[in-house]
Amino acid sequence: MKKRLFAPIIAFVALCLVALTACGGPSAEDMIREDLTTQFEEVKAGSDDLMDGIEEGAGEDFATLGVDPRAFAESFLEGFDYEIGDITVEDATATANVSITVKSMGDIMNEFQLQYTDYISNLSELPSQEDLYHKAGEMLIDATATVEPKTTDCTFTYTQDDEGEWSADESAETELLNALMS
């Protein structure tokens, strides 16, 4: 009698273990999606760490133009969004398709150049260098505010290390740069 009860219990426990193992950890797709979501949500929210990094990276360049780096970043990131699409995993490599909506730095610079050229060509006398820089800063902020965000499709490649951790390849920087300059 004990053997008859014992066998179904063992089978049930074995079935539970198989089911739990299948549900055990997050899938590679889930880990990659979580990583992308974490990174892009930080940008979307304009986190303090991101803004501090932009301020540090701007150095004296924005100060010369009389531009607050944080104000520039907030204007630049206005309308930022992303959508994570398909994630394909093959062995220890994965690709994640992401649509990024952001203002194009190329479009901003084109708009700035048009405004600045128009301004310079209509001057009757040349202002001081400092005044020229500050006017350029005003125009840069204006150009950034007027440019509309556009969507660029990116493909991020991830690799899995020996410990099973997934991380974006160096090509991620190129994909982001392409999206920002598109």
Tens-digit pLDDT profile for residues 39-92: 999 888 888 888 888 888 877 788 889 998 888 889 999 999 999 999 999 999
**Maximal CA-CA distance, the chain:** 107
For residue 13, the model assigns a pLDDT of 36
Residue with tokens 């803004």: 51
Q: Which amino acid is at 24?
A: G
Residue 97 token pair: 């398709």
Rounded to an integer, what distance in angstroms lies between the CA atom of residue 59 and that of residue 170? 25
pLDDT mean across residues, the chain: 84
Digit-coded pLDDT (tens) for 3-53? 433 333 343 333 333 333 344 578 999 999 999 999 999 888 888 888 888
Give the total residue count for the chain: 182
Residue 173 token pair: 């920087």
Query: CA 71: distance to chain centroid?
Result: 19
Alpha helices (runs of H) in 24-153, residue ranges in sequence order: 28-45, 48-65, 69-77, 105-121, 129-146
